[in-house]
Structure 1
Amino acid sequence: MGADAAPPSGPALAAGRPGGPAAAGPGHLAADPAVTAALTAGLGPDAKDLRGLSPFSSLAEVLAVLDLAGDATPPLPVRCLPSAHGGVLGAQLLAQQIVLAERLAPGRTTQTMHTVFPNPGRFDAPVDVDVEWLQAGRTYATLALTFRQDGRPISRGDVLLGAHERDFVRHEPARPDGWSGPDAAAPVDHPMLPWEVRVAPGPSPYGLDLWQRIPDAPADPALARALVAFTSEPLLVPRVTTAHADRGAVSLAPDQRLSAAILAQTITFAEEVDAREWHLVRIDSPHAGNGRVLGRGEVYRADGRLCAVFECVGMLRALAPKRAT
């Protein structure tokens, strides 16, 4: 789904405003103008505190919607975070899928998860989760988690989980080029990430390096993975839109509005990550066009070890105004 947005010029993006009600269409809103404003401000010298643009403001609120048990009978009810645009946050759905899958399959951890967002939803309406076991063995388990609202799917996550195993072979990348630690990044109060966040330019004009640590997070590896997935989702569309706006390469006519959504996302975990310690979320976009934007990212520990990779496809287009009915 999309939402109205201010014309993407520098001042308009920096100002930001809450989005309107969700429009009909696939997916969910990936980032409203408040998130775009936060990222713009985080990379510039002004407006370091935009936390007031978010309807939620604390880690406790995020953890509350991740308080899920695996011993209930499906369909399982879940709670939603409020959102400025009225929709269900994709970041929340990704995080809930990881926690719920690991609660349902104890002793196994999320290896990879692919999630699609076929329909919009509203945060103020009930959401239930259907659980389908695709496979369960000694080492691996595969689940399909479908989040529904009024009987209609708003997301489906296919989750592959596995038990820990010893190395047979091992290789991993060296510390990435352009590496700079959190001390070299600019602090920013991000409206979607109510914890310590610092940002710096990424590996390309369409990239971003975001350092974060969540010292008050529980010592729960499932929640750590969930919080990493939560962070990975709301970054791509604002960064790409801002980068094009900074170059003067995007504009909206007075009768147009911006429609932006993440349609699908995959995240794969390679190593454990402790959300309480500094870790880097690096995003980049190799392509945007045809009304779509492709994104990819990596998550590194502060020592340079790769922990996770993710990819997403988003919708980014200009729409004519809604006709009065």
Structure 2
Amino acid sequence: MDAQPVIEFLGDVPVLQRLPSSSIRKIAQHVVIKHFNSGENVFQEGENEGDIYFISEGEVEVSRSFHADNQDCQVFQWKKFDHFTRSEFVGQEAIIALTKLTCLMLPKKYSHLMHPESIWSQDINLETIAPVEHILSLDPLDLNTFRGITLKGAPKSDKVYGGQFMGQALSAASKTVNFLKTLHSFHAHFLLGGDVNIPIIYQVDRLRDVPNFATRRVNAVQKERIVFFLIASFHREEEGFDHQESTMPSVPDPETLMPKYGLEEGVKLPRNHPRRVEASTSTSVPWPTEIRPVDDTQSHSTHTKRSPSISYWLRAKGRLPDDQTLHRCVGAYFSDMLFIQISLNPHRREGIIPSSISLDHSMWFHRDFRADEWLLYVIDSPTAYNARGFSRGQMFNRKGELVLSAMQVGVVRALKTPSSSSTASKL
């Protein structure tokens, strides 16, 4: 079997989809094709117990005894995309080919490839891992369920940062899809504020799998309630038309711009929030993003009326793995920074404390990009009405190519005085 068909097959094996794409490619290099006739026992005497078999064609029947007298026995079947290994209880288990059977066998000495350090990297070093990769690394609980946490130092206010919800949910969705299909769009809804002190459980529904597309729904659950959900679509790369009407504005290069104090800590944190320089650990992470505003609007008072638009360069701190889906998850994570708040700009004045709450967020990914290289984020708010603001954004790479588009609607309100009872968390 040629290398590409092996990679394509392994990418459709559910248990492998949660692995880093680099691990799947390495597994494809080491699997051995095994053929069996109908009625043949898959395991022969003396074969290695640690070898892992992935069924490519055919079905097997498994009979497993629970007691030495073989009185209690369980019988079930496995088919294409299922996997199995020889049980340590060899004498009490039989795996028989029901039909002509073809398996791809991964020898025991490569079984470590099935147990990477994270869903994005086979090996990670907590001292050198990019902070945003650490934030978007989830713990697989089963094939369709993942657990994420809010790390100390990551962007947040008193609630989970919206970009974290999107980035982690998309990470979960992508780990149930053949890695040859890349995220191209999603539509998300923020239902309840997330609790930063407890894990978030991401439950993935596999809605559609066809040759070129896959669709997933992800529910983010805390305290047995859905606090956030999105529907994401994945597309296999193919030839197509190519044009771009949007033009990147002429702006200074990021190297010529200075970061604004407080901005890299995020607009949802106090302006006097201290900067921290620390190594990433299992429970903390440094601020993950470098930001270079094109103008000085962020130095204005929160009471100063200004245009509902902003442009800034941004990139992930550190180096990310060469996994395009991860870079797109990071792009989604970026996109919620200084987004719906822009619709408040024309309404800022003395005596008014502006408040915003995200309702829904949509994104479309047009071209491959690297999130650890500078991207220009151009945001404007065409309208606000009936206590809802609308913002839209475009990200360009340094070549001027439009790599993604985003839109968001949120509740925008004015709190009359600082002493007023806060309604920021009420819809």
What TM-score, normalized by structure 1, do the two folds share? 0.71
Which SS does the other structure have where 1:104 is aligned? coil
Work out the CA distance in 2 between the residues paired with 1:276 and 1:73. Answer: 29
Q: Spell out the pairing of 1:44-55 with structure 2 (5 A cutoff).
A: none
Amino acid at match of 1:290: N
Amino acid at match of 1:72: D
Which SS does the other structure have where 1:307 is aligned? strand
Which of 190, 199, 209 aligns to 2:311? It is 209
Amino acid at match of 2:313: W
Q: 1:215 to 1:148 in 2, by over 3 A?
A: closer
Partner residue of 1:165? 238
Q: Does 1:236 align with 2:347?
A: no
Work out the CA distance in 2 between the residues paired with 1:181 and 1:165. Answer: 33
Deviations 1:167-224 (A, max 9, x none): 2x2211253344443245442351046332101249x921111102335131332221
Which SS does the other structure have where 1:187 is aligned? coil
Deviation at 1:81? 3.5
Partner residue of 2:265? 191
Work out the CA distance in 2 between the residues paired with 1:124 and 1:216. Answer: 26
Which SS does the other structure have where 2:238 is aligned? coil
Deviations 1:17-50 (A, max 9, x none): xxxxxxxxxxxxxxxxxxxxxxxxxxxxxxxxxx
Which of 396, 409, 417 aligns to 1:313? It is 409
What TM-score, normalized by structure 2, do the two folds share? 0.55
Work out the CA distance in 2 between the residues paired with 1:108 and 1:123. Answer: 31
Work out the CA distance in 2 between the residues paired with 1:74 and 1:224. Answer: 22
Q: Does 1:85 align with 2:157?
A: yes
Q: State which drifts further: 232-241 or 287-296.
A: 232-241
Partner residue of 1:110? 183
Cα pair 1:174 1:304 within 8 Å, conserved: no
Work out the CA distance in 1 between the residues paired with 2:365 and 2:399. Answer: 17
Q: 1:236 to 1:322 in 2, by over 3 A?
A: closer
Q: 1:103 to 1:75 in 2, by over 3 A?
A: closer
Q: State which drifts further: 174-183 or 97-106.
A: 174-183
Cα pair 1:70 1:104 within 8 Å, conserved: no
Cα pair 1:173 1:306 within 8 Å, conserved: no
Partner residue of 1:289? 385
Deviation at 1:114? 0.3
Q: Which runs of 4+ in 1 moved over 6 A?
A: none
Q: 1:99 to 1:148 in 2, by over 3 A?
A: same
Partner residue of 1:298? 394
Cα pair 2:295 2:311 within 8 Å, conserved: yes
Q: 1:60 to 1:170 in 2, by over 3 A?
A: closer
Which SS does the other structure have where 1:234 is aligned? coil
Work out the CA distance in 1 between the residues paired with 2:194 and 2:372. Answer: 31
Q: Report the count of equivalent residues.
A: 258
Q: Does 1:75 align with 2:145?
A: yes
Which SS does the other structure have where 1:111 is aligned? strand
Deviation at 1:296? 0.2
5+ residue gaps, structure 2: 1-127, 267-286, 297-305
Amino acid at match of 1:155: F
5+ residue gaps, structure 1: 1-57
Q: 1:279 to 1:234 in 2, by over 3 A?
A: closer
Amino acid at match of 1:97: A
Q: Does 1:137 align with 2:207?
A: no
Amino acid at match of 1:153: I
Amino acid at match of 1:307: V
Work out the CA distance in 2 between the residues paired with 1:104 and 1:69. Answer: 13
Which SS does the other structure have where 1:218 is aligned? coil
Deviation at 1:62? 3.2
Work out the CA distance in 1 between the residues paired with 2:217 and 2:413. Answer: 30
Aligned-pair identity in percent equals 23
Work out the CA distance in 2 between the residues paired with 1:243 and 1:231. Answer: 24
Amino acid at match of 1:176: M
